Each structure stands twice: as C-alpha cells, then as structure tokens.
Amino acid sequence: MIRANEHYTKLKASYLFSDIARRVAAFSKENPHRDIIRLGIGDVTRALPSVCIDAFHRAVDEMASDTTFRGYGPEQGYDFLRSSIAHVDFQSRGVTIEADEIFISDGAKCDTGNIQELFAGDITIAIPDPVYPVYVDTNVMAGRTGENSEGRYGGLVYLESTAANGFVPALPDKPVDLIYLCFPNNPTGATATREQLKLWVNYAREHKALILFDAAYECFIRDASLPHSIFEIEGANEVAIEFRSLSKSAGFTGTRCAFTVIPKKCRVFDGQGSPVALHPLWLRRQSTKFNGVSYPVQRAAEAVYTPEGQRQCTELVDYYLKNAALILERMTALGFTCAGGRNAPYIWIKSTMDSWALFDLLLAKAGVVCTPGSGFGKCGESYIRISAFNSYENVEKALDRIGTALS
C-alpha cells in the first residue's frame, strides 16, 4: 500500500502566500470593479535592468545556432557567473570566497528548503519567530518536528524576535544544532550588526552548530556599518552557509537565479563527532537532483556584475527603498509603531487588531493587500507586513486609501 508522508498533515493547509492569493482572488471575484494594490508578497514590479535584457537576447541568439548552442550546463553553474559573483559580491569587499564555493540555483527559496536534507533527522533546530515560513515548513515536511499546537511546532526551538530585542533574537538558552538567520530580515526588516552576527558565529563554533544565513535582502543595505555577508565575520566560513538571490537585487523573481555559498571549510559532524565537509555533499546533491539554471538566465545574471549592471541594480533597489521610506513615514504618521523599511523593503507594523482582521479590513476598505504578521509565526500576531514592491504611484495611492479607511 502506497502511504503518504504523514508529516505533511502537520502543516497548515496551504503555504502563507498561496492562502493570501486565494483570499485576494475570492475578494476580486466578489468585487470585480475594485482596484486592488498588492503590497503583500515581496514580488518586484519593475522591468529587468537593460544590461540583463541585452545579455539575455545575446544568449538566446547563441542558442539559435548549432555552433554556439549549449545543452546541459554544469549543475553548480557556469564559471563565468560564479567568478563574477565571487569577485563583486565577496572579494571586492575583502571577503575570501572562491568561485567554486558558489552554487548557482533557481531560487533561495528552493535552496533554503533543499539544504536541510543534508542534515540528520534528529538534530535540534533554532528558528526565529516571526520567520519566512519556508524554513519551518520544509523541516515539518522532513519530519523534524512534532505537531503544531497554538502556532508552534513541537521540537523546534523558537528564537523570539520582538520589539524588546529590536527584532534580533538572543542566543538560545539550550543547545541547538542548526540555526536559521535572515538579515536584513523578512518579515521585520530588522538588520544585524557585525557584533550581533559575531555572537552567533561564536555560538556556532562553540556548540558545533551550523548557521543557515539568508542574505536575500542584502542589496537593500545602505548603512555602511552593516555587514552584507556572514562571511565578513571571522571564523564564519567553518560554521555558516549563505543564501543569496537576484530576485530582489535585480528583479529576477520571474527570471529565477540565486546562489548558495558553501565554503570548503564549512563542516558538520558524523555520528562519531568527526567533521564532514558540507561542500562535497551539496555538490553531490545538486548534481544528482538539479540540472542547473538555463544558460540565457545565467548570462543575464552575469550582466548584473558588470559596472553598468551594478549601477542599474542600485537604481532599481533605490526605487523600492524610496517606497519603503514613504510607507514608514506615512504609517508612522497614522500612529502605528513601525520597524524596518530603512535597509530593507519590508515595513513591520504593530497594530491593536488581530493580524488577519487588519488584513481583511485593509483589503475590504482600502483595496490594499498586505501580509498578516501571524502568518510568519506567533510573535507576528497583531503585526502586518507591508512590502515596498510596487510603483511609487501605487504605494502613494495605497497609503492614501489606508489613511481614509482607518480614519
């Protein structure tokens, strides 16, 4: 008898953003003439930088000729892209990361979800609350948790990120093996200083733990004192993996290109406590289960790392940061306590209402979609997240409508 993976039954019925999309679709169906402004899922709205489009066209043309056509590429990505990333994102900032420590993929969501299959089933996992739901859900699917009770899965160690700690959680009070961190943070928009990251790196070294560091939003950092990579912290290359994405930095949400950095020194341990390098394990996993990102997409991604590509991407990100600043200013003026929005595209807004009730109210009265904070965890209750990914005009319009709806 074929049996289902019963761990799936522990999950909430649907993924947070699918749930929101379903509710918005139902509202649209009932109110076909309402203009809806989407500030929910962090999906970019502006066109790809022109350097990427040009590179894309050239690569597609190469595919049109037998002499320049490419079939399967290296599963871990073409060297032209890995070298450009190593140079621009790391070496030029004084961080020692080599091209062959970078694995190109089709998304940080997939990588953060897939990476956990490299770890034993009975490890202890520390997960921030609130958190990007993929980290939790993929571990639930893998059977590393108990049942969900009152918004918390048994077996997980939750790291509470609250206004009291500036949304940067404290070290766990019991030993953990795997730690998920994301800075600039989704959903709170909080950032971590070098000193704060150093505490985590030291913890991981001392406790033989591993940090999964999601840096998908590093391109929004404008404060020069903040670290962009966990590998800026001494000793992190033995205890951390970093996930990056071109989704927000270059508008690739629909184009799909990301990468995961696994330093050759990064280690886990076997049952006898001997170190096991993670790099060959991930290479083995990717070459078995993944056939790489398409050649034209990797050429478009390579263009991001040219001087003109960097200029165009900075302009793109600055556009969304201007939206974020407006959201922060206007929601604060409406009397809300807000976090994030400065070195991040998300504004984390505290309300006196239940998260879903405020979501429903803003949708019904303002035609604005946000994300209910409780969808990111128990500590997100009574918060909403507003994303800066839309046109400036739509963001202004949405804020006007929110002002009217709440007055």
Interface contacts to ligand MLT, rule CB under 6 A: 41-43, 109, 132, 186
Specify the residue, 76 or 185, whose C-beta has the smaller distance to ligand MLT: 185
Direct distance between the N- and C-terminal alpha carbons of the chain, in angstroms, rounded to an integer: 59
Strands (E), 290-363: 337-340, 346-350
Q: Is residue 344 packed enough to be buried (19+ CB in 10 Å), middle (13-18) or exposed (0-12)?
A: buried
* Calpha distance 162→168 (Å, rounded): 8
**Angle, CA of 230, 343 and 130, to the nearest 5°:** 70
DSSP reduced 3-state for 244: strand
Specify the residue, 36 or 60, whose C-beta has the smaller distance to ligand MLT: 36
* Calpha distance 180→201 (Å, rounded): 12
Enumerate long-range contacts of 133-138, CB under 8 Å, 24 or more apart.
133/15, 133/16, 133/375, 133/376, 134/109, 135/180, 135/212, 136/377, 137/11, 137/15, 137/113, 138/112, 138/113, 138/114
Contact (CB, 8 A) for 180 and 98 = no
Question: CB under 8 Å to 99, separation ≥6 — which residues?
Answer: 79, 82, 83, 85, 86
With CA atoms as reference, report the closest residue to 78 among 57, 108, 104: 104
Shortest Å, Cβ 248 to ligand MLT: 8
Determine the distance from the C-alpha atom of residue 246 to the mean position of all C-alpha atoms in its chain, rounded to a whole number.
Answer: 11
Specify the residue, 42 or 377, whose C-beta has the smaller distance to ligand MLT: 42
Shortest Å, Cβ 79 to ligand MLT: 27
Shortest Å, Cβ 201 to ligand MLT: 25
Shortest Å, Cβ 337 to ligand MLT: 21
Specify the residue, 105 or 186, whose C-beta has the smaller distance to ligand MLT: 186
Shortest Å, Cβ 371 to ligand MLT: 7
Specify the residue, 186 or 255, whose C-beta has the smaller distance to ligand MLT: 186
Specify the residue, 139 or 237, whose C-beta has the smaller distance to ligand MLT: 139
Q: Which residue is nearest to ligand MLT (CB)?
A: 42
Contact (CB, 8 A) for 341 and 327 = yes
Shortest Å, Cβ 124 to ligand MLT: 25
Specify the residue, 41 or 141, whose C-beta has the smaller distance to ligand MLT: 41
Shortest Å, Cβ 333 to ligand MLT: 25
Angular region, 256: left φ>0, alpha ψ -120 to 50, beta rest: left
Shortest Å, Cβ 168 to ligand MLT: 19
Specify the residue, 84 or 186, whose C-beta has the smaller distance to ligand MLT: 186
